[in-house]
Chain A
Amino acid sequence: MDARARERIKASVVAGVFLLVGVWICVEALQVPFGSLRMPGAGFMPLVLGVTLSGLAVVLFGMDLVSREAGSTRVWPDRPEVLYLVGSLIVAVWLFDRAGFLVTMALFLGVSTKVLGRGRWLTAIVTALIGSVTTYWVFGRLLQISLPGGILSF
């Protein structure tokens, strides 16, 4: 398969995703009263937006179909570090309430510093400890923001 064909498939998938989102918005909008033109209800604007997005997605699909340009963008990350970072971000959000701010952020800083820098573990651990404790002190103590204590509840 040549680059142009691959690019067209990718563009069609993108347009398809937007079409699905548009249809989903319409379905959700129909769950609340549409009202009338004299007295538009809560579903009025969302339905208009859903229909507009679906229409624009169809136009995008059509334009990609007739387009003769071949692109070169890859959706999949070129470097594995992106995936590691996304993974650690998701784990950190999941852990945030459960393990608490200090433990979660120390783990997040340590792992992401190690993954991005490909350096020594010792450097990552020192960065993680100093970074998380300093941030906790600045935001939690100095600025009085209520951060979750988690397993180190104090």
Chain B
Amino acid sequence: MDTVQSLLYGFSVSLTATNLMYCALGVFLGTIVGVLPGIGPLGGITILLPTTFGMEPVSAIIMLAGIYYGAMYGGSTTSILVNIPGEAASVVTCFDGYQMARQGRAGPALSIAAFASYIAGTLSVLGLMLLAPTLARLALRFGPPEQFALMVLGLVILAYMGTGSVLKALMMIVLGLTVAMVGIDHLSGFTRFTHGRVELGDGVSFLAVAMGLFGVAEILVNVEQKVVQDIIKPKLSTLLPTREDWKRSIGPILRGSGVGFVIGILPGAAHIISTFVSYAMEKRLSRHPEEFGTGRIEGVAGPEAANNAATGGAMIPFLALGIPSSAATATMMVALLIHGVKPGPMLMEQRPEVFWGLIASMYIGNVMLLILNLPLVGLFVNLLRVPQHTLFPFILLICFVGVYSVGLSTTDLWIMAISGVAGYLLRKVGFDPASIVLAMVLGPMMEQALRQGLMMSKGEFGIFLSRPISAAMLAVAVLLLVAHLITVLRRAHARREATTQEATA
């Protein structure tokens, strides 16, 4: 099947009444998740994951993907109207979006955010559709050494591109990989880290850890940060952008789409980083950079396009290589694995309905979001009025049911509670636990690839360096770490010099 035929087949899958309903439900729930401060797309996907267990795999992934890109749309609403980002990727939208709202231009800000998201979302799906099959064909040539090197590179980029300290991110990755080691070793049959507990034989429940780290911990952090909300209500008569607004926005939207898509492919906090890169780029290209932060529409259009395009980019490594590049796509991968579908190079051959059905649903979902977001802005804004003391206990209740429903085990509930408290404490001391989740998914694959590689070479580590693809990937990983080390040392040197100068002055 060529791409056009495959896409038409995808539309025939996603345009069934059931899948359309799940797509609509996904983008609607995603928008709510994006609007509500405190629950990010990852928390939303994790909390709603158990509700997909009774569905067909294609319906489940359509709904979860809908939550993922829907949250990017929703996040901008709170940034513009309340100056509180609904999720981390909407922080940049606050800079100019809220200023526009204060000047009485909330309508154009909201609508350009929605249009930018729609255009970027659609373009990124186009990129995903064209790039994923090529990458999947290339990945079919990968043996264990290449797979291992790819995962090492992915995790190093994850640490490097993260929002905090690289060292701390590496520690979280190692911790996540270790959690993945718990249970029976499938190559030898030995149990590890279980201390005789039968419930841990199959390993630590991914869902329990993810629910704890992103459901429970997120709520504990939010309980601590009580926020006062001053909501600006947009007037519907001024909702649409003017011709001048469009003229100023179209360039940033197209550039943001490109930046977001490319950064989205890379592991790490891609959707967050892409917004900052897009904002910085627009400011640099502008004739009036000094006006950024005072309500420039380009400051809304570019970053909003970037964070939506990043979602399409992030789907590529997950669907084509079977290696998720973010915690959100790792959760979606777990959802597919639970349904017996293994993402990776063979997905397009073995389960074309899942791959092409998902891609077609993303085109449809982006249209649905545009239709949903503009007229229902008032409804979504009112969600912000739901008091935290009502919302948070209900989210925790859903976490309880969700975790228990999978394994019918209170051990999983204990793991959720412990992960929740650990996630809260880790954030307080400057660690981002998102890497733990991604490493947990990659852990078993990475161990298998490493051990198989060593067995192939009869114990020679040289196999990872003698094959060109794996050698190149490991070289890039080492270069990134060395580059980071040099930066750290330079900064320390500069600080020392500054202190010496201060002392002599």
Contacts and interface: CB of A to CB of B under 8 A. Distances in A.
A and B form one complex? yes
Nearest to B499: A68
Give the dominant DSSP class at A's interface: helix
A58 B191 CA distance: 29
Interface of B: 51, 54, 167-168, 170-171, 174-175, 177-178, 181, 185, 187-188, 190-193, 216, 219-220, 223-224, 226, 387-390, 392-394, 396-398, 400-401, 404-405, 408, 410, 413-414, 416-417, 420-421, 424-425, 428-430, 446-447, 450-451, 454-455, 458-461, 492, 495, 499
Contacts of A118: 389
Contacts of B400: 92, 96, 105, 108
B177 A42 contact: no
Given A53-B175, A116-B389, A146-B408, 4 more contacts: A56-B170, A68-B499, A96-B404, A96-B413
Interface in A6-62: 10-11, 14, 18, 21, 25, 28-29, 32-33, 35-46, 49-50, 52-53, 56-57, 59-60
Contact of A81 (B54, B192, B223, B461): B223
B489 to A, nearest CB: 11
Nearest to B455: A39
B174 A105 contact: no
B167 A59 contact: yes
Interface of A: 10-11, 14, 18, 21, 25, 28-29, 32-33, 35-46, 49-50, 52-53, 56-57, 59-60, 63, 66, 68, 71, 73-75, 77-79, 81-82, 85-86, 89-90, 92-93, 96-97, 105, 108-109, 112-113, 115-119, 127, 131-132, 135, 139, 143, 145-147
B174 A56 contact: yes
A117 B192 contact: no
Contacts of A93: 410, 413-414, 416-417
24 contacts: A18-B171, A25-B178, A28-B193, A42-B190, A45-B450, A49-B177, A52-B174, A53-B175, A56-B171, A66-B492, A68-B495, A73-B429, A86-B421, A89-B216, A89-B417, A92-B400, A93-B413, A93-B416, A96-B413, A105-B400, A108-B396, A109-B394, A112-B393, A127-B393
B410 A97 contact: yes
A118 B390 CA distance: 11
With most chain A CB atoms within 10 A of its CB, the pick from B167, B185, B226 is B185
Contacts of B417: 89-90, 93
Nearest to B416: A93
Contacts, number: 164
Given A85-B219, A116-B392, A38 B224 contact: no
Given A113-B389, A127-B390, A10 B408 contact: no
A100 to B, nearest CB: 12
Contacts of A90: 417
Contacts of A79: 223-224, 226
Given A28-B193, A116-B392, A37 B454 contact: yes
Nearest to A118: B389
Given A14-B429, A38-B455, A85-B219, A109 B187 contact: no
B224 A78 contact: yes
B495 A45 contact: no
B223 A82 contact: yes
Nearest to B492: A66
A85 B401 CA distance: 17
A65 B205 CA distance: 37
Given A46-B178, A46-B181, A77 B389 contact: no
With most chain A CB atoms within 10 A of its CB, the pick from B193, B401, B408, B414 is B401
A108 B178 contact: no
Contact of B401 (A40, A41, A139): A139
A131 B397 contact: yes
A137 B233 CA distance: 36
Contact of B397 (A63, A68, A71, A109): A109
Contacts of B226: 79
A57 B174 CA distance: 11
A121 to B, nearest CB: 13
A69 B322 CA distance: 41
Contacts of A77: 220, 224
